A and B are shown apart, each in its own frame.
Chain A
Amino acid sequence: MNEEKNNFKALEENVRVPDGLEFKVEKRTQGNLGLVRMLFNVVDLYVSKFFDVLVHATKDETLSVGEKNGFALGNSPEHADDENENPEKEDKKDDE
């Protein structure tokens, strides 16, 4: 190959690099870490949101079962019967 004249090299020499084309190691790596953190936060948000929705959904279902039967939560028909029976027992005791 002719080392004296090689216009491929001349082409390379004539390249003008635009000003400010610097490689910022810190910025690039921080940028990538920032992106990973952001993605993690988005996933975390969706997961926690999903569990929130799940908890609310199960709570709502419990409420609606109770409401269907006309009882407030923690006041089941059994409890209601107990409440009805208790006065009778108390009356009997009084009679005795």
Chain B
Amino acid sequence: MYLKNQSDVYFKVLHGRYLKKVYGKAVSLLKDDALAEDAVQEIFLKIFLNLSKFSGKSKFSTWVYSITYNYCIDLIRRNKKHKNIFTEESEKIPDVVEEVSDKVLLEMEFNRLGRVLDVIPIDDKAVLLMKYQDNLGIKDISGIINKSESAVKMKIKRAKAKAKKAYSELFPAEI
């Protein structure tokens, strides 16, 4: 509706619909309320300015999440501590990855899940949020993080294993 009419009213509807999701992702990835608030403004500005470029090939929500993740990941990259987020270096670690079922992850008590997601690397957290919170497919995730689909599958597998390990370290004898 907004694309057809260019009315602020419709953009406010879009804003209302996605504010909580966008803010939630920003605060979860950036771990700073003030940074997240600024990020939300910038993300919605990007959405507002690029609405005409939305082709409709993907779901609108996927397009919004892609802008959100890319903005937050770029912001984190600028921070020297996380320079190697989603780079080849982080993909090259040759390790045997334990297969963790989705159920183990999805049924973690949500406060504990929040703590687990806070201790695993930010790129692992991002792919887990994309897959389990936003229900994005492998193809969509590979488009967002600019990796091949097989690399995304491996990344998710590793992220799940790291989350399970983090859980057992944070809450021993619970898993």
Contact = CB atoms under 8 A, between A and B. Distances in A.
Interface string A1-22: 1100111111110110110011
Nearest to B48: A25
Ranked nearest first, the 9 interchain pairs of A and B with the lowest CB-CB distance are: A15-B24, A7-B110, A8-B132, A8-B133, A10-B110, A23-B44, A6-B106, A7-B113, A23-B15
B165 interface: no
A93 interface: no
A10 B128 CA distance: 14
A92 interface: no
A64 B27 CA distance: 67
A28 interface: yes
A6 B11 CA distance: 30
Contact of A9 (B28, B40, B133): B133
Summarize B's interface: helix, strand, loop or mixed.
helix
A2 B107 contact: yes
Nearest to B27: A15
Interface of B: 8, 11-12, 15, 19-21, 23-24, 27-28, 33, 37, 40-41, 44-45, 48, 102-103, 106-110, 113-114, 117, 128-129, 132-133
Contacts of A25: 8, 11, 48
B160 to A, nearest CB: 12
Contacts of A23: 11-12, 15, 19, 40-41, 44-45, 48
A6 B37 contact: no
Q: Which of A21, A23, A25, A28 has the most CB of B within 10 A?
A: A23
A25 B114 CA distance: 33
A11 B21 contact: no
A28 B21 CA distance: 21
Given A15-B20, A28-B45, 15 more contacts: A1-B102, A1-B132, A2-B102, A2-B106, A2-B107, A8-B129, A8-B133, A11-B24, A12-B21, A12-B24, A15-B27, A18-B37, A23-B45, A23-B48, A25-B11
Contact of B110 (A14, A26, A28): A14
